[in-house]
Structure 1
Amino acid sequence: MILYIAEKPSLGRAIANALPKPHKKEDGFIRVGNGDCVSWCIGHLLEQAEPDAYGSQYKSWKMDTLPIIPEQWALKAKTKTRKQLSVLRKLIKEADALVHAGDPDREGQLLVDEVINFLKTPKTKQANTQRLLVNDLNPPAIKKALSDLRPNRDFIPLSTSALARSRADWLYGINMTRAYTLQGRQAGFNSVLSVGRVQTPILGLVAKRDEEIEHFVSKPFYEVLAHLETEQKEAFTAKWQPSEACQPYMDEDNRVLSKPLAENVVQRISHQPATVKRFENKQKQQAQPLPYNLSSLQIDASKRFNMSAQQTLDTCQSLYEKHNLITYPRSDNRYLPTEHHAQASSVLAAIEHNQGATSEVVQNANPDIKTKAWNSNKVEAHHAIIPTEKRTQPNKLSQAEQNIYQLISRQYLALFYPVYKYAERSAEIEIQQGKFSAKSKQDLDLGWKQLFPSASKNLTEEAPTLIPELAPGQPLQSLQAQLLEKNTQPPQHFTDATLLSAMTGIARYVKDPAIRKILRETDGLGTEATRSGIIELLFKRKFLSRSGKQIRATDTGKQLIQALPDSASTPDMTAQWEATLNAISQKDASYHAFMTPLSQQLHQLIEQAKNTTMAPMTPIKNAPNKYKSSQRVRNKYQKKSTSPRKKAS
């Protein structure tokens, strides 16, 4: 008997539907027509043991017992799902062979592997376990995946990387949370001050942005516009480009702060001859956008529908598990396997039937177009999020499901529209030895951009005027110049969309070039699967609050960031972790090379915490006042932050 172990019941049922009938549903598994069985986890069946499992001295929260670093790690069965673990124990003993069918990501790999290991599966059976990678829950896609099983041992580095991340997050979170909670109590704060490797740098981003806005002082700056005419009375405008001699009168963003300087330029160039120094007239094009990964979808859903990252993820899970209308939603990849291009016509037909777009939009798509998105070399365990071939009745979808399905469908449809074409002209003008520049752009063929309302106004409304055709050396006449007085603006408070964008593009918030390079090569702060859960956690912990669309740090959040060392509230440490974890998954680094330095670092961080005196903090009403209840809160955080996996129906 072959036993297929899925990550959750919905995936288990989908796998069974692709296997021989008749099926017999039993308690916690399905027996299929050829005698094989499909069973499942229910998310994580196991969890890290609590600190007191490693010694009774850790039951009470005391600074002198930190850091807690287990010599031998212990897992324990989760109480609510212990029955399903017993089902798997019995089936694994009976099975001749195992097929690992966890979700196709790092966490999904570990989730099933740890159950197989925990249940003391014989080494030979473990060595022969195969891996099933499912991205689409429809039977044809699963049947194809079943015909392409891979040895599970090929994914050991991925599982090891996830294990290292899980244990490291436990070590860092447990120890830092206990240390700063104890210091917070000395300052009058009666609740848990949760500290995490990813959540705290995110809080740091928001707190520092709020501080920057609070202390921002607006200052005026000045621009000069030259209004120009050709001999044929063709008019256009060029903007002054200050020279190096003006640097003493400019800020770090090259804005002119001296009004007399700008007024002098206006006076010098008004009603004076001008000369074209350079002119370019180019026709350009912009390729179709890549299909979504989870973060890019969450960002667009926030902008368009004001949905939080968690709401978008939950909606995606429903479209994937309940309706089978989209492929695996927790993907961090934006490319598609080349062979999937053959399914384009049937996917487009499904989009039309499911009202993912109007019939006219779908019928204008050309399934023969093949963009750079179709690249099997850039696809590993999972690919971009796209619609499936499944058809349904649109009235079965909630409004949120319809909105997300339409977003995903539109992004997919864009792959089958022509490139966007536009004309761009640029010129450099000299007036009284001063340099001025002009640039204009005009749409020629919207192509894929016609699917995006904000992009189509140029052809549907009055088109912008191109600067006239010019030639180097051509004389012009400068008319009365114009002085523009503007004021610097504070940065904007974070929103769901901009905070997600900051997490995925965290490198731009780092000054150290080496760290910035690492972050550019990784997925940023957190993973596709964890970002939304971590943001929600910060709200639940009352470290963040909302004001309309704005996300702000609370007083508690600000005080925590002020008390922590920079290494805890900036993304630098996470960048170094992610670089090593990625190296582990690529077989370029070892588990011990990652964990040993972390243990040494923890001793330094705890010593630093002991020497930190926190400013008085405001107590929270009805907060837990016993360390034991604080421990339960901390454990709940730990499970959510490492794998916020939703229970399937």
Structure 2
Amino acid sequence: MILYIAEKPSLGRAIAAVLPKPQHKDNGFIRLANGDVVSWCVGHLLEQAEPEDYHPEYKRWQIAQLPIIPDKWQLKVRKSAASQLSILTKLIKQADQLVHAGDPDREGQLLVDEVLAYCGVSGHKLAATQRLLISDLNPPAVKRALAQLQSNKDFVPLSTSALARSRADWLYGLNMTRAYTLQGQKAGYQGVLSVGRVQTPLLGLVVRRDQDIADFVTKPFYQVLAEVETSDKQRFSAMWQPSEACASWQDEDGRVLLKALAEKVQQKITGQPALVSNVEQKERKQPAPLPYNLSALQIDAAKRYGMTAQQVLDNCQQLYERHKLITYPRSDSRYLPRGQLSRAAAVTGAIAANDSQLSAAVQQADMARVSKAWNDSKVEAHHAIVPTEKRQAFTGLTQAEKQLYYLIARQYLAQFYPAYCYSETLVELTIAGGLFRAKANTELSVGWKQLYRSASNQEASQKSQPDNDLILQSLPQLHKGQQLHCYGAQLLEKHTQPPQPFTDATLLAAMTGISRYVSDPAIKAVLRETDGLGTEATRAGIIELLFKRGFLQRQGKQIRATDTGKALIHALPPQASLPDMTARWEAELSRICQRETSYQAFMQPLQTELGLLISQAATVTPAGLPQGKTRRWGRKKSTRPAAGKTTNLRRGRQSVTKA
């Protein structure tokens, strides 16, 4: 008997749907006509044991106990999953051949592997276990995946990496949370001060942004706009580019802060000849944006529809599991395997049938076009999120599901449209010894951008320009050495603006582009190469956790830190509230995946560092915490345990270790 073990029931049913019939559906599994069986987990069937499972004394929170580091790690059965684990245990013993069908990512690999280990699978049966990678639940895709089984042994490093991350997060989150919660009690705070490897640097990002806004003092700066005309009276404007001699009167961004200097330039150039010192004209091509990964989709959905990251993820799961209209949504890739090109006509046909808004766009698509998205070398466990071949009436979809399908389908269709083409002209003028510059972008061919230009959808198509750039719609025909006339000049007074508070879209963008917020070149390079802060699958949950724990709050569309969040960040050492540690971890976890380092080489230094952090925590009393405050964790309301008393914070603690 072959036993297929899926990560969740929806995947199990999709696998069974393409295997021999008739089939018998039983409690927790499906028996196929040939005697093989498809069963499933329901997410994680096992979880890290609680500290009190290692020793009863750990149920009482005491600083002297920390850090808690198990000698031998234990897993325990989740109460809600005990029945399904019992079913799987029996089936695993009966099976002659096992097929691991967890989700195609690090967590999905560990999830089934830990069940196999817990059930004592070893020897030949473990060595012969195969891996089934499915990112699209539609029958044709599942059939293709079943024809491409791999040895599960090839994925041991991936599983080891996930195990190391899981245990490291448990150690760090649990110990740091207990340490700072106990110190918070000394300040009169009755809630839990949770600390996590990812959630806390994210909170630190918001706290520091809020502080930058509060500390910001606006200041005026000045620009000079030369008004120029040609001999045949064609007019345009050019912006002054301050020289190095002006550096003493400029800020770090090159803005002139001395009004008198700008006034002098204004007076000096008025009525003077203007020499065209340089003309550059280039034709530019902008290819279509790549198909979505989850973070890119969450950012666009937040901008256009005001959806939170969690709402996007939840609705995408419905589109994937229930409706089977999109491929695996938790993907971190924006590329597609070239083998899927043969299905493009079927996919675009489904788009036309499913979404009337895009039916005309499908007709104009050039199916022979191959964009840069089709790149096998950049596709690993999953590919980008794209529509499937399934055709379904939209009456069964919610408004949010329709909106997300539209975004995903439109981004896919863009791959079959030509590049957006425009002419970029740069003109430099010399006026009274000063340099002035004007730019013009002239559209030549709209290309894929026609998909993004409906009346209800005016997405920004150009990046914001620096303050010293002037972008015009057009310029006269000019040539180097041409003499013009500066008939006037404008003095522009502007004011520096504070940083903008985070929103759902910009906070997600900050997580994916976290390297912009670090200064160390080595750390910056690691974060560029990895997924950033958190992963595609965890970012939405991490943001929501910070709200649930009372560390973040919403003010309209803005996301701000609460007093509790600020107090925690100010109490923590810098390494706990910056993304640097995450970068170091991810670099080492990646090396485990590549077989370049070991589990122990990762865990041992971490345990040493954790001891130092706990010692440091014992010397800090957080300031500015709300007094008498309680926090709601999960379904229960729990207060921070007083000395000598115990409390059950299981739900909260588990969340801490995951973030």
TM above 0.5? yes
The amino acid of 1:349's aligned partner reads G
Gaps of at least 5 residues in structure 2 are 462-470, 632-637
Matching residue of 1:165: 165
**In the aligned structure 2, how far is the partner of 1:210 from the partner of 1:189?**
23
Query: What's the TM-score, normalizing by structure 2?
Result: 0.95
CA distance in structure 1 between the partners assigned to 2:314 and 2:222 by the alignment: 48
- Match in the other structure for 2:505: 497
Contact 1:356 1:406 in 2 (8 A): no
- Cα 1:448–1:455 change in 2 (3 A) is farther
Task: Report the equivalent of 1:647.
Answer: none
Q: Does the 8 Å CA contact 2:157/2:592 hold for their aligned counterparts?
A: yes
- Which whole-Å CA distance do the structure 2 matches of 1:324 and 1:501 have between them? 28
The answer to whether the 8 Å contact 1:356/1:409 transfers is no
Offset of residue 513 of structure 1: 1.2
**CA distance 1:33–1:571, shift in 2 (3 Å):** same
How far apart are residue 638 of structure 1 and its match?
Answer: 3.6
Instruction: State the 1:442 CA deviation.
Output: 1.4
Query: Cα offset for 1:276?
Result: 0.8
What residue number does 2:434 align with? 434
Contact 1:351 1:357 (C-alpha < 8 Å) held by counterparts? no
SS at match of 1:351: helix
Q: Is the 8 A contact 2:188 2:628 kept in 1?
A: no
Structure 1 segment 10-49 matched on structure 2, within 5 A: 10-49=10-49
Give runs of aligned pairs for residues 68-87 of structure 1, distance below 5 A. Answer: 68-87=68-87
For residues 17 and 398 of structure 1, what CA distance do their matches in structure 2 show? 26
Q: CA deviation at 1:67?
A: 0.4
Does the residue aligned with 1:373 lie in a helix, a strand or coil? coil
Q: How does 1:321-336 map to 2 (within 5 A)?
A: 321-336=321-336
Q: Percent identity?
A: 61
Structure-2 separation of matches of 1:356 and 1:123: 55
Q: How does 1:95-134 map to 2 (within 5 A)?
A: 95-134=95-134
Question: In the alignment, is the contact (CA less than 8 A) between 2:191 and 2:629 conserved in 1?
Answer: no
Taking structure 1 as reference, are residues 289 and 622 closer, same or farther at Cα in structure 2, changes over 3 Å only?
closer
Task: Indicate conservation of the 8 Å contact 2:30/2:37, yes or no.
Answer: yes
On the 8 A contact 1:191/1:619 being kept in 2, the answer is no
Query: After superposition, where does 1:104-253 map in structure 2 within 5 Å?
Result: 104-253=104-253
Query: SS of the residue aligned with 2:647?
Result: helix
Residue 535 of structure 2 corresponds to which residue in structure 1?
527
Corresponding position of 1:631: 649
Separation of aligned partners in 2, 1:621 and 1:13: 46
Q: Shift of the alpha carbon at 1:21?
A: 0.4
* Residue type at the aligned position of 1:534: I
Match of 2:422 in 1: 422
In 1: Cα distance, 2:141 partner to 2:651 partner? 41
- 3-state SS in 2 of match to 1:588: coil
Q: What pairs with 1:46-57 in structure 2 (closer than 5 Å)?
A: 46-57=46-57
> Which portions of structure 1, spanning 4 or more consecutive aligned residues, are displaced by more than 4 angstroms?
454-458, 620-623
User: Which residue of 2 is the match for residue 645 of structure 1?
Assistant: none
Shift of 1:95: 0.2
Contact 1:188 1:616 in 2 (8 A): no
String of CA shifts for 1:371-399, please: whole Å, max 9, x gaps.
11001111111100000000111111100
Query: Aligned to 2:367, what secondary structure does the other structure show?
Result: coil
Report the Cα distance in structure 1 between the residues aligned to 2:474 and 2:441, rounded to whole angstroms: 6
Secondary structure of the 2:649 match is helix
Kept in 1: contact 2:181–2:640 (CA 8 A): no
SS at match of 2:4: strand
For the residue of structure 1 that corresponds to 2:320, the secondary structure is: helix
| 3-state SS, counterpart of residue 357 of structure 1 | helix
State yes or no: 1:617 paired with 2:625. Answer: yes
Verify the 8 A CA contact 2:228 2:235 in the aligned structure 1. yes
| Closer/same/farther in 2, CA of residues 10 and 550 from structure 1, 3 Å limit | same
CA distance in 1, matches of 2:546, 2:206: 11
Tell me if the contact between 1:449 and 1:456 (Cα under 8 Å) persists in the aligned partners.
Answer: no
Return the letter of the residue paired with 1:200. T
AA at the equivalent of 1:560 = L
CA positional deviation for 1:174: 0.3
2:521 to 510, 513, 531: 513
Q: Equivalent residue for 1:484?
A: 492
- Judging changes above 3 Å, is the alpha-carbon distance between structure 1 residues 480 and 203 closer, same or farther for their aligned structure 2 residues? same
User: What value does the CA root-mean-square deviation take over the aligned residues?
Assistant: 1.4
1:57, CA displacement in angstroms?
2.5
1:406 counterpart residue number = 406
Distance 1:602 1:530 in 2: 23
2:550 is the counterpart of 1:542: yes
Query: What is the aligned partner in structure 1 of residue 475 from structure 2?
Result: 467
Query: What is the rounded CA distance, in whole Å, between the counterparts of 1:457 and 1:125 in structure 2?
Result: 56
SS in 2 for 1:479: strand
Q: Counterparts of 2:610 and 2:358 in 1: how far apart (Å)?
A: 57
Shift of 1:122: 2.5
Q: State the Cα distance separating 1:613 from its structure 2 match.
A: 2.2
Aligned equivalents of 1:101, 1:306: Cα separation in 2: 35
The code of the aligned residue for 1:634 comes to: G
Quick check: 1:191–1:630 contact (8 Å CA) kept in 2? Answer: no
In structure 2, what is the Cα distance between the partners aligned to 1:594 and 1:630? 31
Amino acid in structure 2 at the alignment position of 1:160: T
Which deviates further from its counterpart, 66-75 or 120-129?
A: 120-129
1:348 partner letter? T
Which residue number in structure 1 is paired with residue 581 of structure 2? Answer: 573
How far 1:615 sits from its partner (Å)?
1.6
Moved more, 151-160 or 350-359: 350-359
Say which is worse superposed, 265-274 or 120-129, in terms of deviation: 120-129
Using the TM superposition, give the Cα deviation of residue 231 of structure 1 relative to its aligned residue in structure 2, in angstroms: 1.2
Closer, same or farther in 2 for the Cα pair 1:473/1:626, shift >3 Å?
closer
Deviation at 1:617, TM superposition (A): 2.1
Deviations 1:16-41 (A, max 9, x none): 00101001001110001111000000
> Structure 1 residues 222, 50: CA separation in 2 closer, same or farther (over 3 Å shift)?
same
Partner of 1:377: 377
Which has the higher mean CA deviation after the structures are superposed, 309-318 or 122-131? 122-131
The amino acid of 1:179's aligned partner reads A
The question of whether the paired residues in 1 share the 8 Å contact of 2:19 and 2:32 is answered with yes
Q: Partner of 2:488: helix, strand, or coil?
A: coil
CA distance in 1, matches of 2:317, 2:472: 43
Conserved 8 A contact 2:68-2:175: yes
In structure 2, distance between residues paired with 1:589 and 1:396? 49
Does the Cα contact within 8 Å between 1:449 and 1:455 map onto a contact in 2?
A: no
Could you tell me how far 1:136 is from its partner in structure 2?
0.6
Q: Which residue of the partner structure matches residue 297 of structure 1?
A: 297
Q: How does 1:351-390 map onto structure 2 within 5 Å?
A: 351-355=351-355, 357-390=357-390
Amino acid paired to 1:319: L
**Number of aligned residue pairs:** 637
Distance in 2 between residues matched to 1:473 and 1:411, nearest whole Å? 46
Cα deviation for residue 205 of structure 1 reads: 0.3
Q: Where does structure 1 lack aligned partners over 5 or more consecutive residues?
A: 643-649
Cα deviation for residue 252 of structure 1 reads 0.6
Supply the distance in 2 between the matched residues of 1:62 and 1:456 (Cα, whole angstroms): 54
Residues 21-68 of structure 1, C-alpha deviation per residue, up to 9 Å, x if partnerless? 001001110001111000000000000000112222312100000001
SS of the equivalent of 1:135 reads coil
